[in-house]
Amino acid sequence: MTGPKVVLGVAGGIAAYKAVEVCRRLVDAGVHVVPVLTAGATRFVGAVTFSALASEPVQTSLWDEASPIPHTKLGQSADLVVVAPATADVMARYAAGLADDLLTATLLATRAPVLLCPAMHTEMWEHASVQENVATLARRGVQFVAPESGRLAGGDSGEGRMAEPATIVARILAMLEPSRHDMTGLDVVVSAGGTREPLDPVRFLTNRSSGKQGHALAEVAARRGATVTLVTASALALSPDVGARVERVQVETAADMEGAMVRAAASADIVVMAAAVADFRPKAVAERKLSKEDGLPELVLEPTPDILAGLAAQRRPGQVIVGFAAETNDVLERGARKLARKGVDYLVVNDVSAPGSGFDHDTNAVTILGADGSSVDVPLTSKNAVAEAVFDRVIVHQREKRSST
């Protein structure tokens, strides 16, 4: 056995024919592929085909293998488990913790990353139960290659078509990189959390931001080798494996965050403004706790500083600036206007009213808008995966700029 080991699960759907090409491309790339087919899959593709192309013969049963516990052996030895196609049935059983065949038992028995590539008719993909299962699995850290729109079985057309093999293989190879250090030598500043603007010594104005996305960005950048400063208004703890490598600056108000970000950005290569900064603050803060006995207070608000626009206006040459925008309506239109108004390189926009997306969730779905006119959709996935996608785009941007100069 050479190369990283991938368990390639194939479920019973017409898109199973594409899994043959996924298998071939992975083996050509030096990956050790162990195919696991469900009973339904063998109705669409032959086990002999996969056995001939893969690194090991096909496995199909919990009971017919030499090992008495094949799922445990597969799960423990895998560097990555991929299911392509991932049918509605397989995802439902996986989400429910059922393990009635070799594939679902392996999914439950592994601690390796899991990548699902859904494929089904549009009506099935859009069904509430399927979307809830996707959200549940994403919350647990499962990653997805989103289905595409196009021709479906039976001559229909719509969303639900499994992504092309080249797209899936590219994602697999990226996940198999044992430790990406493509950000080594870069100085990254990330802001996180919702600021608090005091009304009196007890009360404050704030928003629903938890800081989870900003903290995920800081952790991903650190794992990829960057020197990271996290300016946060959140009390969340960083993961133990990277916490000691991230310089944490704790702030509370928009004014605090502005000062900390300006100082940290002065020497930064990449600035990511993921914090949900309050747009307004009380013009005057009461010196003592306000009481009903005092009557209804007059609350006069004033705008807080536009930190993102200010950072963009005073950026260093070559510095990349990324902003975030949480919206509830006309998301892309409002995002495009903000991108131009703020003067940043990228604006990551998301609909915080969508299920599983935005504030206080472990998942997110975003669109990365570029000043160069680019647009990258990141369907609902973990906030770590969103962070990876953001930095993937930033690194490509930096490489393109270097090659053009």
Catalytic residue numbers read: 207
Name residue 260's amino acid. A
* Cα 179 from Cα 362, distance rounded (Å): 23
Task: Give the angle subtended at the CA of 344 by the CAs of 343 and 345, to the nearest 5°.
Answer: 130
Tell the residue number behind the tokens 């930096």, with chain if given. 398
* Size (the chain), residues: 405
Q: Are 68 and 42 in contact (CB under 8 A)?
A: no
Instruction: For residue 80, give the amino acid letter.
Output: L
Contact 190, 221 (CB under 8 A): yes
| CA separation for the pair 214, 324 (Å, rounded) | 10
Q: How far is CA 112 from the centre of its chain?
A: 17
CB–CB of 206/277 below 8 Å? Answer: no
- Torsions phi, psi for 234 (to 5 deg): -100, 150
Spatial distance between the Cα atoms of 16 and 219, rounded to a whole number of angstroms:
36
Cα torsion at 176, 181, 182, 185 (round to 10°)? 170
How many angstroms separate the CA atoms of 377 and 358, rounded? 15
Helix, strand, coil percentages, rounded to 5, for the chain: 35, 25, 40
- Rounded Cα distance, 224 and 138, in Å: 22
Q: Which two tokens stand for residue 201?
A: 């010594």
Contacts for 278 with CB less than 8 Å, ≥ 6 apart: 194, 195, 196, 197, 205, 206, 207, 253, 254, 304
Structure tokens at 377: 């959709």
Backbone angles phi, psi at 239, to 5 degrees: -60, 140
In angstroms, what is the C-alpha Rg of the chain?
24
Structure tokens at 232: 């946060």
Query: Greatest CA span in the chain, whole angstroms?
Result: 82
